């Protein structure tokens, strides 16, 4: 009764306006109050406890910790060898650039083939890449204006690469938001064919997205958690629109049975809210498991995304019904539902598909599993771990500089290893590291940390191309050699070492988080179906679908998009989103199937469930897939990979798993799917004339 009274108040004439006004005031208050809060800068790729992170902490203790060198990489525009006049001009160029007074630019270093040269220019940097972007931009402008005639000079190196990332995201979030809104609006317009209806969920979910944006930034700032805001926005828009479509679809169904649109809206809310809540809770808990991750960016994304989805849920379950109550039945114009009490399940095209599946379930299931198995073979040959130069969707100036550098100098020259050691063991550590195969040079860097046991830095250049298996093996060998020196306390860091530690951290997160996510989904399905067989079957299909999707996405990326590898975080995040979001549609379908089975039997109940949910699940799946595909407008390859893989997975779930495989499995197992509990059909079918029992989704 309290819930019904609250719903009646929410959908009443005055109550709906009051709810909308209150929601708008609260939302604008949150947005305005937290508008100035900035999220923390992008997190380090490696765990904070890793060896490379510890080296970075020690480096920050040096007096010149804020001084880092960028590299000027020069080649002749005609491809010829550099002349002595060219190298002299480059050295002179270095003296004109705004270097740190106590750290002048280096002399020009020419490659062995004489086709390229590098110049090290120290600059004062900030922990925030966005602040460094102005410095790098000014430096590049000066280099372009003063470069010696006939030479092409590129600015690259660590600070330049970080600045390019920051600049690449300038305006990207706005672009993503506009593309996402456009995609959602278009698909809602095509789904409902109403010039009015699409606007309501877009406004409600868009408002929730803006509230979630400022709240997640404030949370990230308070907890020191970094995350990709674009991924959070896509999740909020995608999931929020799905929730809205489920409620609206059921509302339209209820309008065919009730002349009072407010009563129909209350019935629709009561019928869909349990599924929406279960779906939201499942994804939120699954995302919350990322709080146990050791990779900082993964941990921050989980916490922020979970908060964002809670905000989306609140908006859809409160503001959306209030808005629908105000507009009334005419919101569906020009196809306004009328009271006809026709059993729409009997004429549904989705019902016909499910009926066909039930005729030969074994054949259908076999073909579906075979198709997923074929998709999964795309994992063969998949590599994980993008090189630094491959991380941009469009090649950046720093990436082009790295390519030129690796062609003419030792491949590791742009990403030197940093070895920290006690000052009284420099010679021993230098000798040990120099003896490692693949190390081309070792030289001490100026400065110490001071104190009773000062630390010094060694710069180690390696021959292997960064990001390759050979480079990782070299890092491991250098660490073993450095650690073997007694009492030196040697540690090995730098970008290549960070990549190794990031790979280890992501593998650890994958092996920890995946079982936890599967456990969460299993418990939800156990509560939903009240059986043991159904959760095992459904979870097995979900896992196979996720693996197949990652395989298909990886194959498409390699063959059509020239992806050399998947980003380190993509396998875990893809699997998490595919399983957690895929279980949504399982919840919507199976809860409806159990409700229908109580009056029609397991197999007919599944047919009616597919008939009742087919249209809305398909529409919701297309919307969610399109929203994730919008991540492709962002500049990082990793986000494009995540968007493509999850988008493909949602479509596979929508058209193959929920429409064919799950009904086929129910057709094969029949009442045994509810074991060890009793089948819902055992309750006896309802006699003719019994009032229609509210079902979950439609």
Domains of the chain listed by start with CATH number: 1-36+169-336 (1.20.1640.10), 67-168 (3.30.70), 354-394+506-682 (1.20.1640.10), 397-500 (3.30.70)
As a whole number of angstroms, the longest Cα–Cα distance in the chain is 99
The pLDDT value recorded for residue 36 is 74
Is the bond leading into 334 cis (omega within 30 degrees of zero)?
yes
Q: pLDDT band at residue 476, thresholds of 50, 70 and 90?
A: very high
The pLDDT value recorded for residue 697 is 39
The answer, yes or no, to whether residue 682 has pLDDT greater than 50, is no
Question: Buried (b) or exposed (e) across 85-114, using 16+ Cβ within 10 A?
Answer: ebbebbbebbeebebbeebebbebbbbeee
For residue 601, the 8-state DSSP code is -
The highest-confidence range among 70-79, 101-110, 132-141, 399-408, by mean pLDDT, is 70-79
Lowest average pLDDT, out of 285-299, 365-379, 536-550, 627-641, goes to: 627-641
pLDDT in tens, 305-359: 999 999 999 999 999 999 999 998 888 888 888 887 555 554 467 888 888 888 8
Is pTM beyond 0.85? Reply is no
Cβ contacts of residue 671 below 8 Å, gap of 6+? 601, 602, 679, 681
Q: pLDDT band at residue 522, thresholds of 50, 70 and 90?
A: confident
- CA torsion sign for 207, 212, 214, 215 is positive
pLDDT in tens, 569-609: 999 999 988 888 877 778 878 878 888 888 888 888 888 88
Of 40 and 241, which is predicted with more confidence?
Answer: 241
pLDDT in tens, 182-209: 888 888 888 888 888 889 999 999 999 9
Q: pLDDT band at residue 681, thresholds of 50, 70 and 90?
A: low
- CA torsion sign for 441, 442, 444, 445 is positive
Q: What is the mean pLDDT of residues 657-685?
A: 79
pLDDT in tens, 142-158: 888 888 888 899 988 87
- CA torsion sign for 418, 421, 427, 432 is negative
Q: pLDDT band at residue 33, thresholds of 50, 70 and 90?
A: confident
Q: What is the mean pLDDT of residues 478-498?
A: 92
- Work out the mean pLDDT of the chain and round it to a whole number: 85
Q: What is the mean pLDDT of residues 242-254?
A: 88
The pLDDT value recorded for residue 451 is 67
- Contact by Cβ (8 Å): 493, 51: yes
The pLDDT value recorded for residue 21 is 93
Q: What is the mean pLDDT of residues 648-660?
A: 89
User: Which residues does residue 493 pair with via DSSP β-bridges, in sequence order?
Assistant: 418
- Helix axis angle for 129-146 and 84-96, nearest 10°, is 130
Question: Tokens standing for 431?
Answer: 């000798």
Cβ contacts of residue 126 below 8 Å, gap of 6+? 66, 132
The answer, yes or no, to whether residue 3 has pLDDT greater than 60, is yes
Q: What is the mean pLDDT of residues 603-616?
A: 85
What percent of the chain shows pLDDT beyond 70? Answer: 93
Edge-to-edge strand list for the sheet holding 67-76: 109-110, 116-124, 67-76, 151-156
Question: Buried (b) or exposed (e) across 356-383, using 16+ Cβ within 10 A?
Answer: ebbeebeebbeebbeebeebbebbeebe
CA 157, CA 160: separation in Å to the nearest integer? 5
Judged by DSSP in three states, 44 sits in coil
The pLDDT value recorded for residue 692 is 43
Cβ contacts of residue 693 below 8 Å, gap of 6+? 595, 598, 599, 686
CA 610, CA 258: separation in Å to the nearest integer? 23
């Amino acid at each position: 009764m309290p819930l019904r009274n609250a719903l009646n108040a929410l959908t009443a004439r005055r109550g709906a306006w009051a709810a909308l006004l209150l929601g708008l005031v609260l939302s604008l208050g949150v947005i305005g109050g937290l508008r100035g809060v900035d999220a923390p800068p992008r997190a380090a790729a490696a765990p904070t406890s890793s060896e490379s992170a510890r080296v970075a902490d020690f480096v920050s203790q040096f007096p010149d910790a804020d001084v880092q060198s960028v590299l000027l990489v020069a080649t002749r525009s005609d491809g010829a060898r550099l002349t002595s006049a060219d190298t002299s001009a480059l050295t002179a160029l270095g003296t004109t650039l705004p270097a740190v007074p106590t750290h002048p630019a280096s002399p020009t270093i020419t490659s062995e083939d004489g086709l390229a040269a590098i110049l090290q220019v120290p600059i004062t940097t900030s922990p925030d890449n966005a602040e460094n972007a102005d410095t790098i931009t000014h430096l590049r402008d000066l280099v372009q204006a003063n470069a010696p005639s006939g030479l092409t000079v590129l600015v690259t190196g660590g600070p330049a690469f970080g600045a390019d990332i920051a600049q690449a995201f300038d305006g990207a979030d706005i672009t993503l938001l506009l593309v996402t809104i456009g995609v959602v609006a278009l698909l809602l317009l095509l789904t409902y064919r109403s010039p009015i209806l699409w606007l309501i969920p877009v406004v409600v979910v868009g408002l929730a997205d803006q509230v979630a944006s400022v709240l997640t930034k404030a949370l990230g700032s308070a907890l020191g958690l970094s995350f990709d805001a674009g991924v959070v926005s896509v999740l909020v828009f995608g999931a929020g629109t799905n929730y809205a479509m489920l409620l609206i679809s059921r509302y339209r169904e209820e309008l065919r049975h009730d002349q009072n649109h407010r009563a129909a809206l209350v019935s629709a809310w009561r019928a869909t809210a349990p599924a929406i809540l279960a779906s939201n809770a499942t994804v939120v808990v699954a995302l919350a498991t990322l709080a146990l991750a050791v990779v900082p960016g993964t941990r921050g994304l989980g916490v922020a995304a979970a908060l964002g989805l809670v905000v989306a849920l609140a908006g859809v379950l409160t503001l959306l019904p209030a808005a629908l109550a105000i507009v009334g039945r005419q919101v569906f114009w020009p196809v306004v539902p009328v009271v006809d009490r026709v059993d729409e399940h009997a004429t549904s095209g989705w019902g016909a598909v499910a009926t066909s599946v039930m005729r030969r379930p074994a054949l259908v299931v076999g073909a579906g599993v075979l198709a997923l198995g074929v998709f999964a073979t795309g994992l063969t040959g998949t590599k994980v771990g993008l090189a630094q130069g491959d991380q941009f969707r469009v090649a950046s100036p720093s990436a082009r500089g790295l390519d030129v550098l690796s062609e003419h100098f030792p491949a590791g020259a742009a990403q030197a290893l940093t070895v920290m050691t006690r000052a009284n063991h420099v010679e021993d550590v230098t000798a040990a590291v120099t003896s490692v195969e693949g190390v081309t040079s070792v030289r001490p860097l100026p400065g110490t940390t001071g104190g009773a046991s000062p630390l010094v830095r060694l710069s180690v250049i390696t021959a292997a191309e960064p990001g390759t298996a050979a480079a990782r093996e070299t890092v491991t060998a250098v660490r073993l050699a450095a650690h073997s020196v007694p009492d030196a306390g040697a540690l090995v860091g730098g970008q290549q070492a960070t990549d190794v530690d990031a790979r280890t951290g992501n593998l650890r997160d994958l092996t920890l988080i995946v079982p936890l996510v599967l456990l969460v989904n299993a418990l939800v399905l156990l509560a939903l179906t009240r059986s043991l067989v159904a959760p095992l079957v459904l979870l097995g299909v979900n896992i196979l679908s996720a693996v197949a999707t990652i395989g298909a996405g990886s194959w498409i990326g390699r063959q059509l998009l020239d992806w050399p590898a998947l980003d380190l975080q993509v396998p875990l995040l893809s699997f998490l989103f595919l399983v957690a979001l895929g279980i949504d549609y399982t919840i919507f379908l199976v809860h409806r199937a159990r409700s229908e089975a109580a009056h029609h039997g397991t197999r007919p109940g599944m047919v009616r469930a597919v008939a009742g949910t087919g249209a809305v699940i398909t529409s919701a799946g297309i919307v969610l897939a399109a929203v994730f595909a919008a991540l492709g407008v962002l500049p990082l390859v990793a986000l494009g990979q995540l968007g493509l893989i999850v988008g493909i997975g949602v479509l596979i779930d929508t058209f193959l798993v929920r429409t064919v495989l799950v009904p086929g499995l129910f057709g094969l197992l029949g009442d045994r799917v509810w074991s060890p509990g009793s089948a819902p059909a055992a309750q006896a079918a309802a006699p003719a004339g019994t009032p229609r029992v509210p079902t979950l989704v439609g």
